[in-house]
């Protein structure tokens, strides 16, 4: 029997909700089994300096301290309810926001929640071996923080399934623990969450690109007319910000270190740069191309009747829906999408309602471009003439209008053969992966030390010094 308020910090009155308690009594041990099997490898005895969400107050929601990860207090938090909140878009616009699942949207909503929920444990599975090759104790602590918070995000979605979807919800909650990233028979639902995350450059790219997809999906769901979903997602966004920070600063620190070494040694040629034990900039560009293109697919088809239905029904809004200045119904508006016609990429207008995936993808791309610009400044201030670029939206896509096309990073439509001839100029080759992995053959865990291929961060976690003992191995 679990002592709920002790063990599971929450603001959903869990102590009084018998039905939810019973559901969690079954699920919680299964979750722990999953964590022991699929959580960070060999980490169960470590004491990690982690933050735990303990309330929803903006100025005190997290508490820092040493925790063994299996003892982490995975909590259930929803942003406090606003009694006046309405459905803000679609055909139900103006109704009071729903506190229970509308019967007609039950299976659609469940699907939306399951698809989001599935990404959370998937990324933990993808990252589980990386502790063995961490570049510092600081970075090791950060990946563990990301992992426990993805675990908490799974709890957040499972709370919704248990609380609002009865038996189907409980079955879905079990399936979330049964699928496995990359498994041939029972894979995770979305493509990018079945790719390997083989090394730390891939990890930082993943948290920069793919966790940011998470942010945009959560932002769209945070607009939902189903109020418990909206409030759950709002709170998850506070944690997502840290994941993207880990990614952006991680790649930035790798770039910084590469530039330092290039300058010190007057090395320019990638093979000379590699001989100095850092990651050459063209390889970083290829990783960028891979993670960007794989993540763009997560937004789905450019033209989608599902996306239109989610919106019209009031289930999933646009990025910053309530800040947008239009009718929030979108029946008379259009939105541009691209496609390949006769070997050329053309843009045409389609009904805006059907183009909501594309629109969310474009919002995402704007934010990504800003982050890549910040990486570029690191290169520029080192005086190195190298430009990081975002490839064309159609490059290396498997979903939507560009699927089956062979588009170069510059946006040229090529034949399959021509594209394949350049594939490993544009995407990481097995040799690139092998090289990056060769730098990460063991872990660096002396407090304050950093692997040669990455610069230290500008500051430690929670104002602690860089040589703080962020992980005690016992
Ligand atoms: Fe998450
Ligand atoms: Fe995340």
**30-48 core/surface letters (b: 16 or more CB in 10 A; e: else):** ebeebbeebbbeebeebbb
Please name which ligand lies nearest the alpha carbon of 240: 2
Q: Please, which residues have CB less than 5 A from ligand 1, an ion?
A: 120, 150, 153, 214
Q: What percent of the chain has pLDDT over 90?
A: 91
Q: Which of 23-27, 151-155, 340-344, 362-366 is least confident?
A: 23-27
Q: What integer is the mean pLDDT of 54-63?
A: 80
The residues, any chain, with a CB within 8 Å of residue 382's CB and separated by 6 or more, are: 256, 259, 260, 262, 263
Please name which ligand lies nearest the alpha carbon of 221: 1
What confidence tier does 57 reach under pLDDT thresholds 50, 70, 90? confident
Helix (H) or strand (E) holding 53: strand 47-53
Q: Which of 21-25, 363-367, 432-436 is least confident?
A: 21-25
Ligand 2 centroid vs 240 CA: distance in angstroms? 5
- 103: phi > 0 → left, psi -120 to 50 → alpha, else beta; which? alpha
Q: Is the pLDDT at 1 greater than 60, yes or no?
A: no
Place of tokens 């291929």: 453
The residues, any chain, with a CB within 8 Å of residue 434's CB and separated by 6 or more, are: none
Please name which ligand lies nearest the alpha carbon of 211: 2
Ligand 1 centroid vs 453 CA: distance in angstroms? 28
Per residue in 306-326, pLDDT (tens digit) is 999 999 999 999 999 999 999
Ligand 2 centroid vs 347 CA: distance in angstroms? 33
Please name which ligand lies nearest the alpha carbon of 156: 1
What pLDDT is attached to residue 2? 62
255 within 8 A of 249, measured Cβ to Cβ: no
Per residue in 177-187, pLDDT (tens digit) is 999 999 999 99
Rounded CA-CA distance 206/28 in Å is 28
Q: What integer is the mean pLDDT of 359-375?
A: 98
Residue (of 286, 291, 262) closest to 431 by Cα position? 286
DSSP secondary structure string, 347-388?
EEEEEGGGGHHHHHHHHHHHHHHHHHHHHHHHHHHTT-----
Ligand 2 centroid vs 429 CA: distance in angstroms? 27
Q: What is the mean pLDDT of the chain?
A: 96
Ligand 1 centroid vs 17 CA: distance in angstroms? 25
Residue (of 144, 82, 122) closest to 211 by Cα position? 122
Q: Which of 5-9, 88-92, 181-185, 305-309 is least confident?
A: 5-9
What pLDDT is attached to residue 53? 86
Please name which ligand lies nearest the alpha carbon of 236: 1
Q: Is the pLDDT at 168 greater than 60, yes or no?
A: yes
């Amino acid at each position: 029997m679990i002592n709920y308020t002790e063990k599971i910090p929450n603001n959903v009155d869990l102590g009084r909700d018998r039905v939810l308690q019973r559901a969690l009594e079954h699920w919680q041990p299964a979750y722990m089994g999953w964590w022991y099997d699929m959580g960070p490898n060999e980490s169960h005895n470590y004491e990690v300096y982690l933050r735990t969400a303990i309330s929803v107050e903006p100025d005190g929601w997290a508490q820092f301290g040493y925790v063994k990860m299996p003892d982490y207090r995975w909590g259930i938090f929803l942003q406090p309810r606003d009694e006046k909140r309405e459905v803000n878009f679609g055909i139900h616009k103006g109704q009071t926001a729903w506190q229970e699942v509308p019967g007609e949207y039950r299976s659609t909503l469940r699907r939306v929640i399951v698809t989001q929920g599935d990404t959370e444990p998937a990324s933990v599975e993808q990252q589980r071996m990386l502790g063995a090759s961490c570049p510092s104790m600081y970075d090791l602590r950060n990946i563990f923080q990301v992992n426990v918070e993805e675990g908490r995000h799974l709890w957040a979605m499972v709370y919704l399934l248990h609380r609002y979807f009865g038996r189907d919800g409980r079955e879905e909650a079990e399936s979330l623990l049964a699928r496995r990233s990359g498994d041939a028979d029972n894979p995770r639902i979305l493509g990018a969450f079945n790719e390997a995350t083989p090394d730390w450059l891939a990890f930082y790219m993943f948290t920069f690109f793919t966790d940011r997809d998470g942010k945009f999906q959560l932002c769209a769901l945070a607009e939902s007319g189903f109020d418990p979903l909206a409030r759950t997602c709002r709170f998850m966004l506070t944690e997502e910000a840290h994941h993207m920070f880990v990614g952006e600063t991680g790649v930035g620190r790798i770039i910084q270190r590469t530039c330092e070494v290039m300058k010190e040694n007057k090395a320019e040629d990638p093979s000379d740069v590699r001989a100095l034990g850092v990651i050459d900039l063209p390889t970083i560009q290829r990783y960028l191309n891979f993670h960007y293109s794989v993540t763009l697919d997560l937004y789905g088809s450019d033209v989608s009747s599902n996306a239109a239905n989610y919106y019209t029904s009031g289930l999933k809004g646009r990025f910053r829906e309530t800040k947008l200045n239009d009718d929030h119904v979108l029946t008379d508006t259009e939105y541009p999408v691209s496609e390949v016609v006769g070997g050329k990429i053309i843009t045409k207008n389609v009904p805006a309602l059907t183009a909501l995936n594309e629109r969310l993808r474009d919002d995402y791309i704007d934010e990504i471009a800003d982050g890549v610009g910040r990486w570029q400044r690191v290169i520029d201030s080192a005086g190195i003439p190298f430009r990081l670029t975002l490839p064309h939206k159609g490059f290396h896509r498997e979903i939507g209008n560009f699927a089956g096309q062979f588009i170069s990073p510059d946006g040229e439509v090529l034949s399959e053969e021509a594209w394949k001839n350049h594939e490993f100029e544009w995407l990481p080759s097995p040799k690139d992966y092998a090289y990056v992995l060769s730098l990460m053959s063991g872990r660096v865990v002396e407090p304050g030390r950093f692997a040669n291929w990455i610069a230290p961060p500008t500051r430690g976690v929670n104002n602690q010094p860089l040589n703080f003992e962020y992980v005690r191995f016992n």
